[in-house]
Amino acid sequence: MTTVQFTGNRNIRPARPDDYVGICSLLQASHLPTQDLLLTRLEHFAVCVIDESLVGVIGLEVYGSQALVRSLAVAQQARSQGIAACLASYAQTRALSMGVCTLFALTTTAQTWLEKQGYAVLDRAQVPDVIRSSAQFRELCPASAVCLAKSIA
């Protein structure tokens, strides 16, 4: 996957092993789960870097033609610059290239933002079993988290 260049010294690129500590720190600062995030799970993660500082992250858990969008976070000082939307677009493009047709997300804070990105609220009972069996659905996200889905095919 290519790197997305911004004006100045910003870019979005695939996550690398040396990003692991920064990703975990950013997710913890954003009150997002990291318990299941192992170095080996970064394969479908992307980061936004500004002047060599990691300021944004997004991840995908791919299950065949479906994927769970997870760990979307932008550092407080870098918000309101369109970084989250660029990360989401990058992840969607990457998902399409892997044959993913539907994206799912769980959130307690970003429902309105996700709806603006084309996601629609979906009852958890309608989510495919393979997505519901993920750690995010089973144990890491609270039952109060809203489930959303987006068709990208």
Helices (H) and strands (E) in the chain, counts: 5, 8
Using the predicted structure, report yes or no on whether residue 28 has a pLDDT greater than 90.
yes
Alpha carbon distance 16, 61 (integer Å): 16
Give the range of the structural domain holding residue 94, as residue numbers without chain letter.
Answer: 4-151
Q: CA 60, CA 11: separation in Å to the nearest integer?
A: 19
Question: pLDDT averaged over the chain?
Answer: 89
How confident is the model over 39-51, as pLDDT tens digits?
667 889 999 999 8
The pLDDT of residue 136 is 85
pLDDT of residue 95: 96
Q: What is the total count of domains within the chain?
A: 1
CATH code assigned at 40: 3.40.630.30
The string of DSSP letters for 95-145 reads HHHTT--EEEEEESS-HHHHHHTT-EE--GGGS-HHHHTSHIIIIIS-TTP
Q: What are phi and psi of 113, to 5 degrees?
A: -65, -45
Q: What local confidence, expressed as pLDDT, does residue 73 receive?
A: 94
For the segment 121-149, the average pLDDT, to the nearest whole number, is 89
- In the predicted structure, residue 127 carries a pLDDT above the cut 60: yes
Residue-wise pLDDT tens digits, 56-91: 999 999 999 999 999 999 999 888 889 999 999 999
pTM of the model: 0.88
